[in-house]
Amino acid sequence: MKPTHIEHIGIAVKSLETAIPVYEKLFGLSCYAIEEVAEQKVKTAFFKVGQTKIELLESTDPEGPIGKFLEKKGEGVHHIAFAVDGLAETLTEMDAAGVKLVDKTPRKGAEGLNIAFIHPKETIGVLTELCEKPE
């Protein structure tokens, strides 16, 4: 695989209501969408910076992945997502090469993207997602 760019940076925050004004006032970014991803138990706020999105992630359930992350590590970067072409083929190749994957086939993520997570044991402390725009 060869990622084309950083698609987004996912940042866990306790409260979107507190965090959105920081990104708007301090960094001059515009929140262009807020989306709830029920399956992931998060509410997400999106900002665009060049090729990359900042996704602020507020937990909607302490037992969800962001809820647990906040409990364990506090607020901060939760994951990085690379944009790739040919996500399904990439995952098949990684799986064949013995790379541990959370998702062996693409699933739907925020904004309708096809996404998959690599198992964190493979990526040295940084939870890493791969994303592809659907056809």
Strands 107-108, 114-117: parallel, antiparallel or unpaired by DSSP?
Answer: antiparallel
**Coil, strand or helix at 132:** strand
Here's the x/- map for a second copy, 36-65, by CB under 8 A: it reads as -------------xxxx-------------
> Which DSSP state fits 104?
S
Total Cβ atoms within 10 A of residue 134: 9
In which element (H, E) is residue 44 found? strand 42-49
Interface residue with a second copy among 24, 75, 103, 111 (CB under 8 A) is 75
Please, which residue, 46 or 82, has the CB nearer to a second copy?
Answer: 82
> Which DSSP state fits 64?
S
Please, which residue, 39 or 92, has the CB nearer to a second copy?
Answer: 92
Q: How many residues bind a second copy (CB under 8 A)?
A: 38
Cβ at position 5, least distance to a second copy in Å: 3
Rounded CA-CA distance 124/44 in Å is 25
From the list 36-44, 58-66, 69-77, 107-115, the region that binds a second copy by CB under 8 A is 69-77
Q: Under the criterion CB under 8 A, does residue 68 sit at the interface with a second copy? A: no
Cβ at position 42, least distance to a second copy in Å: 16
- Binding footprint of a second copy on the chain (CB under 8 A): 1-6, 9, 11-13, 18-19, 22, 26-29, 49-52, 73-77, 80, 82-83, 94, 99, 118, 122-126, 128
